[in-house]
Amino acid sequence: MADAHYGQRRYQEAAETLLADLPFSQENFMRRHQGLCLLRFSYADQAMSDCEQAVISTQESLLIFRELRLTHYEERGPSG
């Protein structure tokens, strides 16, 4: 759902959907999914010009990806 909101440029709704999904990922030890949610959250933050939160979300997602040895996700972080 968050991807659909993002594609429609409804960034606030995308961020809200991802925030609602994060606890489920954390409670069920779905680390990869948690990392992807955080990465997508950073895209929404960047689109809403909240660069500070985008950096925080990106850093959290990269920690998870490194832990899981999924370092190819480092290339997907938001730019600028």
33-62, pLDDT tens digit by residue? 999 999 999 999 999 999 999 999 999 999
Domains in the chain: how many in total? 1
User: Three-state DSSP class for 79?
Assistant: coil
Who has greater pLDDT, 30 or 26? 30
Q: What proportion of the chain, given as a percentage, has pLDDT over 70?
A: 91
Name the pLDDT band for 23 (thresholds 50, 70, 90): confident
Measured at the CA of 6, the angle between CA 42 and CA 21, to 5 degrees, comes to 65
> Residue 5: how many CB atoms within 10 A of its CB?
18
Domain that holds residue 50: 2-76
Answer whether 37's CB lies under 8 Å from 21's CB.
yes
Predicted structure pTM score: 0.80
CATH number of domain containing 72: 1.25.40
